[in-house]
Amino acid sequence: MKMLLNRLFPLLISISSLQLQSCGQTDSSKSNVISNQIHKQRIDYADSLLVIKTLKEWSNLNWWTFQDCSLEYKMTNESVEYFVERVFYDSEKKKMMVWYGEKTPNAKTIESYSDDERMNRMCPTGGDTVYFMSALIGFRESAHQIWNLYPFENQSVACSPNRETAVNIMEQYYFAKMKDHPMWRIIQEGNKKGESELKAYDYNIQDEDFWSKCWLWEKDTIGAKGLYPFQVERYTNTKGQKCNYCAKPFDVPKIKYPEEILKLYK
């Protein structure tokens, strides 16, 4: 939830064709049709605690696009309400995608940038309360382990006037548009092995084979030392240039989870 320009910059350099939308940019009638056709899963209690704890810690550490609000705004993270909106598991609960949200006061900036007071708020055109929404992706080896979590910001929503509008935007992407979204990956075999390519996911999140056939779940053994693509912040090679271990992995902060969360996984 960093000041909008600060939040956009690392996303734009790391994610091709980023979808960052705000209020008033969704066709709610189409989204409602999608929403009525989906199968909703309930997040495990332990997972909900783990996700919220992770979001709070990343924000307090001011890591990646997560923010210590007090550095830029007349507020602290204690004023932010973090919540889990939707969860998606594979059949074995070893893979997961979570939509999370932040309900926050539309706070003023510490430094005054404009004579127009609206321009000195987190969301200049927003009301007194605004919503942000994005996603985390995770994996683990067994259901008794905690998740390895990473930001997955292909679709993010900023400055939404309400929770429903943010959800509608997320639904339109993940249920209808994700399959056509091209992202950078390293070719794993053939004459172009080791080269970068833009390749669409080919699956939406609720398609039958998303968890087993989408290349998002294929480990990169050429450019990233056996990591999943979502564990990679960026690749250092350019298009047409072959590489061997040319990835910059996410430097995810280590979090010390409280025992009351850890014991739920035993």
Residues in Cβ contact with 38 at an 8 Å cutoff, skipping those fewer than 6 apart: 171, 175, 206
Same structural domain, 49 and 152: yes
E-state strands within the chain: 19-21, 81-89, 95-105, 129-139, 148-160, 182-186, 196-200, 232-235, 247-249
Residue 80, in any domain of the structure: yes
pLDDT band at 40 (very low <50, low <70, confident <90, very high): confident
Same structural domain, 137 and 219: no
Cα(224)–Cα(139) distance, rounded to whole angstroms?
17
User: Measured in whole angstroms, how far is the alpha carbon of residue 77 from the centre of its chain?
Assistant: 19
Residue 263, in any domain of the structure: no
pLDDT tens for 49-64 read 999 999 999 999 999 9
- Edge-to-edge strand order for the sheet containing 148-160? 19-21, 148-160, 129-139, 95-105, 81-89
Residue 208, in any domain of the structure: yes
Residue 149, in any domain of the structure: yes
pLDDT value for 14: 32
pLDDT value for 237: 84
| Greatest distance between any 2 Cα atoms in the chain | 59
pLDDT value for 16: 33
pLDDT tens for 147-205 read 999 999 999 999 999 999 999 999 999 999 999 999 999 999 999 999 999 999 999 99
Residues in Cβ contact with 161 at an 8 Å cutoff, skipping those fewer than 6 apart: 23, 126, 127, 130, 131
Same structural domain, 158 and 220: no
Number of domains in the chain: 2
Sign for the CA dihedral angle at 172, 46, 69, 79 comes to positive
pLDDT value for 10: 33
Task: Please identify, among 121, 145, 178, the residue that sits at the C-terminal boundary of a domain.
Answer: 178
Task: Please identify, among 178, 202, 231, the residue that sits at the C-terminal boundary of a domain.
Answer: 178
pLDDT value for 21: 62
Residue 218, in any domain of the structure: yes
Same structural domain, 162 and 210: no
97, HSE (Cβ side, Cα atoms, 13 Å): 20
Cα(105)–Cα(157) distance, rounded to whole angstroms?
16
Same structural domain, 196 and 136: no
Same structural domain, 101 and 186: no
Phi/psi of residue 232, each to 5°?
Answer: -100, 125
Residue 266, in any domain of the structure: no
Asked if 172 and 157 touch (Cβ cutoff 8 Å), the reply is no
Same structural domain, 187 and 77: no
Same structural domain, 196 and 106: no
Q: At what angle do helices 163-172 and 28-37 cross, to 10 degrees?
A: 70
Q: For residue 198, give its domain range.
A: 181-253
pLDDT tens for 120-138 read 999 999 999 999 999 999 9
pLDDT band at 8 (very low <50, low <70, confident <90, very high): very low
pLDDT band at 38 (very low <50, low <70, confident <90, very high): low
Number of CB atoms found within 10 A of residue 52's CB: 16
Cα(27)–Cα(75) distance, rounded to whole angstroms?
33
If you ran DSSP here, which 8-state letter would residue 37 be given? Answer: H
Task: Please identify, among 138, 161, 178, the residue that sits at the C-terminal boundary of a domain.
Answer: 178
Residues paired with 14 in a beta bridge? none
From the list 115, 132, 99, the residue with the least C-alpha distance to 3 is: 132
pLDDT value for 149: 98
Cα(158)–Cα(110) distance, rounded to whole angstroms?
20
pLDDT tens for 244-254 read 999 999 999 99
Residue 261, in any domain of the structure: no
Cα(203)–Cα(175) distance, rounded to whole angstroms?
9
